[in-house]
Amino acid sequence: MCVTEGMVISMAQTNADLLPDLSHLTLEERQIIESVMMRQKQEEERELEIMRRKQDEVHLLEQSIRQRSEQQKKAGVELDATCHICLKTKFADGVGHMCNYCNIRCCARCGGKVTLRSNKVSVTER
């Protein structure tokens, strides 16, 4: 299942809205629990920021690959025998690995194989 940024934010907001009733605790106990909850909230915010950065990085890489591919097509270079990522490696007879997620042909240096949960081997770009 793909978790979108909006889903992560809404889950974090939902968790923040469900604060427990601490009125029955002493002041010291309440302060300890509130400090733990505050640290948890800060950690979740850090994780969300890391996720945003990684998503932005992936988006920029995808754009860069598309732009290079389009530039090569405009220049008349045949991409069937070329790695779409490094644009250097030549494949014999157009052989290369196709990424199952983005359908980009890549060489062994730019791509790798990962095992999915269903025990199937899939080629992904690095």
* Residue 24, C-beta contacts closer than 8 angstroms, at least 6 positions apart: none
Calculate the CA 54 to chain-centre distance: 6
The CA distance from 126 to 117, in Å, is 19
Q: pTM surpassing 0.85?
A: no
Residues 55, 87, single domain; the answer is no
Element (H, E) at 101: none
Could you read off the pLDDT of 14-55 as tens digits, one per residue? 555 677 888 888 999 999 999 999 999 999 999 999 999 999
The CA distance from 63 to 60, in Å, is 5
Could you read off the pLDDT of 67-106 as tens digits, one per residue? 887 877 776 656 567 777 777 766 666 567 777 777 777 7
Residues 94, 44, single domain; the answer is no
How many domains does the chain fold into?
A: 2
Residue ranges making up the domain that contains 122: 79-126
Residues 30, 62, single domain; the answer is yes
* pLDDT value at residue 103: 73
Write the DSSP symbol of residue 72. Answer: H
Residues 58, 109, single domain; the answer is no
